[in-house]
């Protein structure tokens, strides 16, 4: 593999072959120069942004983008399970202090897996997460509570407790789970009990008045993980209504990885935006309470094949290529008109397993910020939750100069 930080180039022909297939690629060369240039504009932009990221040093990046970053906050999507996976000792007080003091973070997203917290007879035990929650609360973090029995963040996505499933059977993989499905009904019943248990333990109703947010089903329209189950719009709507009924003052995040269903078997952020617009139409009183989240990844395990084995590839390039170059700006305008905000729910900063890219280099970190900020209205307070803080803490045991520089950049951005 190429070393992180070396010059990488996105070849148009290779990109199109991988994305569209050989026949479609051949057709492009029959459509004329003007048509090709229009369609390939996102790839040119991607190359330009990657070259730009490599041209910066931390100081020039922060200075040139000072105005754009003025209202940006960098938080993290944190997982105690990931700490175990990468064999990093659980030290809640030390870990949270690192996020706050070394990185200047004030925002964290935390997911509750039913197979960690649900016991027999609907008894909840939050011991696995409790020490971290207490530290986040004591040190003044705003928490996004990802609380749902159907799907929360991190592989394998559906973290079903055996107690949740004792009276129902899982549908086949890739099923769109309808509201009347026994699994959906079981999940909604479980969620009510979970809300009550969390409120009793942590007083979330009062915390949402001070900036905490909630998230129900993670990436609801996206088949991912092992079971690859998808929530129907009706199931998701009932999920959101239940959250609002129990936490009436809460802002609720609905997220998407953003790539087109026709291309990578996933969903687009347009579908989430359309869902929010429909929810507001059905219940005008909910206007302003929903947040469209996007998950930005430059490299995923599924893209570990040529020509992308060592190259950052992000969703806004794919969206623009398949939907039109206007699509990113359109989403921001759509949010303004629709009365909802956009945030980065997961912004890949570090890597999976033994992969060396993206992450572990300054150019790739700056590339992630350049690309993901294009999806946001930075004239308003904007939150980007970085994915990979656990790996960064592990790197910090013996940090490289680049990791120290990234740390200083994050701290600088968060100093407002």
pLDDT in tens, 271-282: 888 899 999 999
Mean pLDDT of the chain: 84
From residue 315, alpha-carbon distances to 73, 189, 279, 300 in Å are 21, 35, 25, 11
Q: What is the DSSP letter of 403?
A: H
2: pLDDT confidence band, cut at 50, 70 and 90? very low
- Mind listing the domains of the chain with CATH numbers? 12-413 (3.20.20.80)
Residue 222: what pLDDT?
86
- List beta partners, residue 255: 293
Query: What gap in Å lies between CA 60 and CA 346, rounded to an integer?
Result: 25
Taking the C-alpha atoms of residue 59 and residue 44, their distance in angstroms, rounded to an integer, is 26
| DSSP three-state, residue 235 | helix
Which pLDDT score, from 0 to 100, does residue 242 have?
97
pLDDT at 192 over 90: yes
Euclidean distance between CA atoms 221 and 268, whole angstroms: 9
pLDDT tens-digit series, residues 313-356 = 555 565 565 555 566 777 788 898 888 999 999 998 876 554 55
Confidence of residue 20 (pLDDT cuts 50, 70, 90): very low
Q: Which residue has the tokens 């197979």?
A: 115
Give the model's confidence band at 5: pLDDT under 50 very low, under 70 low, under 90 confident, else very high.
Answer: very low
Instruction: Name which residue leads in pLDDT, 186 or 262.
Output: 186
Contact between 77 and 390 (Cβ < 8 Å): no
Count of Cβ atoms closer than 10 Å to residue 202 Cβ: 18
Instruction: Enumerate the β-bridge partners of residue 294.
Output: 256, 344
171 has pLDDT over 70: yes
**pLDDT for residue 400 is more than 60:** yes
Are the C-beta atoms of 146 and 113 separated by less than 8 Å? no
**pLDDT tens figures, 84-107:** 998 999 999 999 999 999 999 999
CA distances from 353 to 82, 177, 358, 393 (A): 11, 31, 12, 15
Angle (nearest 5°) at CA 359 between 358 and 363? 85
The per-residue pLDDT for range 102-128, each reduced to its tens digit, is 999 999 999 999 999 999 999 999 999
Tokens 């209205």, located at residue = 377
Whether pLDDT at 380 is above 60 = yes
Q: Give me the pLDDT at residue 243, please.
A: 97
Per-residue pLDDT at 322: 55
User: Is residue 299 scored above 70 in pLDDT?
Assistant: no
d(CA 357, CA 96): 26
Band of pLDDT at residue 306, cut at 50, 70 and 90: very low
């Amino acid at each position: 593999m190429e070393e992180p930080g070396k010059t990488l180039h996105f070849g148009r022909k290779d990109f199109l072959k991988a994305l569209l297939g050989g026949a479609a690629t051949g057709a492009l060369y029959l459509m004329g120069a003007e048509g090709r240039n229009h369609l390939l504009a996102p790839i040119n932009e991607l190359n330009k942004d990657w070259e730009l990221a490599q041209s910066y040093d931390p100081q020039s990046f922060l200075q040139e983008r000072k105005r754009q970053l003025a209202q940006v906050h960098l938080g993290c999507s944190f997982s105690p399970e990931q700490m175990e996976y990468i064999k990093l000792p659980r030290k809640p007080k030390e870990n949270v202090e690192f996020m706050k003091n070394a990185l200047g973070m004030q925002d964290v997203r935390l997911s509750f897996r039913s197979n960690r917290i649900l016991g027999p007879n609907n008894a909840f035990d939050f011991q696995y997460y409790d020490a971290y929650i207490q530290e986040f609360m004591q040190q003044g973090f705003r928490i996004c509570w990802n609380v749902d029995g159907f799907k929360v963040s991190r592989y394998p996505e559906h973290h079903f407790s055996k107690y949740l499933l004792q009276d129902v059977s899982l549908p086949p993989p890739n099923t769109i789970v309808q509201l009347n499905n026994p699994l959906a009904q079981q999940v909604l019943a479980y969620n009510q009990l979970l809300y009550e248990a969390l409120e009793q333990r942590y007083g979330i109703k009062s915390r949402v008045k001070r900036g905490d947010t909630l998230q129900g089903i993670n990436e609801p329209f996206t088949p991912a993980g092992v079971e690859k189950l998808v929530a129907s719009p009706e199931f998701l709507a009932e999920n959101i209504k239940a959250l609002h009924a129990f936490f009436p003052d809460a802002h609720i995040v609905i997220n998407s990885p953003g790539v087109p269903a026709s291309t990578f078997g996933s969903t687009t952020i347009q579908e989430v935006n359309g869902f929010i617009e429909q929810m507001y139409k059905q219940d005008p009183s909910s206007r302003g309470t929903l947040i469209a989240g996007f998950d930005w990844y430059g490299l995923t395990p599924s893209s570990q094949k040529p020509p992308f084995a060592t190259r950052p590839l992000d969703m806004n390039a794919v969206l623009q290529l398949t939907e039109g170059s206007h699509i990113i700006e359109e989403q921001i305008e759509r949010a303004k008109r629709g009365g909802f905000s956009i945030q980065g729910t997961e912004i890949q900063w570090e890597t999976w397993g033994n992969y060396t890219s993206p992450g572990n280099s300054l150019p790739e970190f700056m590339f992630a910020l350049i690309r993901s900020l294009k999806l946001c209205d930075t004239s308003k307070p904007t939150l980007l939750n970085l994915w990979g803080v656990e790996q960064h803490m592990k790197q910090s045991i013996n940090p490289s100069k680049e990791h120290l520089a990234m740390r200083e950049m994050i701290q600088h951005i968060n100093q407002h």
